[in-house]
Amino acid sequence: MKLGVLEAGGTKMVCAIGDETGQIFEHTLIDTREPEATLQDIIAYFKDKEIDALGIGCFGPIDLDEASPTYGYITSTPKPGWADCDVVGTIQKEINVPIGFDTDVNSSVLGEVTFGQGKNRKCVVYLTVGTGIGAGICIEGALLHGMLHPEAGHIMLRQREDDTYGGKCPFHKNCMEGLASGPALEARWGVKPATLSKEHEAWDLEAYYIAQALTTYIMVLSPDLIILGGGVMKQEQLFPMIREYVKEMLSGYIKTRELEDMDSYIVPASLEEKQGIMGCLELARRAAEKN
Ligand code: ADP
Ligand code: ZN
């Protein structure tokens, strides 16, 4: 099968062609500008490619309820011009193939579950810590949607006493994204997070917040694998610190095989930053199969 991929991000759109085995044959990058021009460029890319189906992993929040009149829309993003944008409908008008549509983080978890280290797991959480924070959740092969989709980066955390930063989330101020996203780090410490030394105190606080969130996910969802990706997680020193804090926060309350081997329980993404694209291939394959 010839499958199309659109990884729709706030700064760039990745368009690609691949197949159901996870192979990617070609790709291109399109800058995210206002919706109309951006979507026209995307349509032009796929127009003569003769794809059998398209998989779209999109920044959100998005409407995933197939019974809703705004299915396939980006809904309440603060990104100028993109709120209430009909992504799926606009593309489908020009490229008439089955379209699989989900969040960018659900695509990433699906990539890991189908082609990476998430194979044969019961419940996998993929958390990205970047410009925003979000989690994709896959339970026994199915992506968790519920009424919308999880927004697990916007959970409330207990702020550490020595942290007086007010928080950066435009909706909730000091939710997890408000305290621990890349822009929150930049606002708290006054420099680009990538320029902070590995020993900087920022990372201990960051690990503390990420660990609090993971502890909540562990209690609520009982995942058997947790994958961490996104720009901030390029700070590899965070991994051992996060594992240590999670152990401390769980306080021995839960005993499982997975928790005994933290190094293989809380892990970095495994598909060389292609987990999102590869997940979109599987979204496309599933859309074709459903059709
Ligand atoms: P996006 O979330 O926009 O898709 P990324 O996952 O790359 O993109 O996240 C970008 C965020 O990650 C920015 O806030 C940036 O400051 C931060 N970031 C990027 N690289 C690093 C790094 N090496 N160390 C710490 N933070 C980083
Ligand atoms: Zn928030």
Residues 6 or more apart in contact with residue 157 via CB below 8 angstroms? 174, 175, 176, 179, 180, 209, 212, 213
3-106+273-290: in CATH 3.30.420.40: yes
- Mutate which of 29, 82, 131, 200 for ligand 1? The one with the most ligand atoms within 8 Å of its CB, which is 131
Q: In a structure prediction context, what are the per-residue pLDDT tens digits for the chain, which is 291 residues long?
A: 999 999 999 999 999 999 999 999 999 999 999 999 999 999 999 999 999 999 999 998 999 999 999 999 999 887 889 999 999 999 999 999 999 999 999 999 999 999 999 999 999 999 999 999 999 999 999 999 999 999 999 999 999 999 999 999 999 999 999 999 999 999 999 999 999 999 999 999 999 999 999 999 999 999 999 999 999 999 999 999 999 999 999 999 999 999 999 999 999 999 999 999 999 999 999 999 999
The Cα–Cα gap between 228 and 240 comes to 12
Residues written for the chain: 291
Q: Which of 86, 90, 20, 85 is nearest to 51 (CA)?
A: 20
Superfamily for 117-269? ATPase, nucleotide binding domain (3.30.420.40)
Pocket residues: Cβ below 6 A from ligand 1 = 9-11, 128, 130-132, 182-183, 186, 192-194, 230-232, 234-235
Residues 6 or more apart in contact with residue 164 via CB below 8 angstroms? none
Residue bearing the CA closest to ligand 1, atom 16: 182
Ligand 1: which atom is nearest the Cα of residue 182? 14
Domain limits, the chain: 3-106+273-290, 117-269
The Cα–Cα gap between 209 and 222 comes to 19
Residue bearing the CA closest to ligand 1, atom 7: 231
Burial category of 69 from C-beta neighbours within 10 Å (exposed 0-12, middle 13-18, buried 19 and up) = exposed
The Cα–Cα gap between 240 and 243 comes to 5
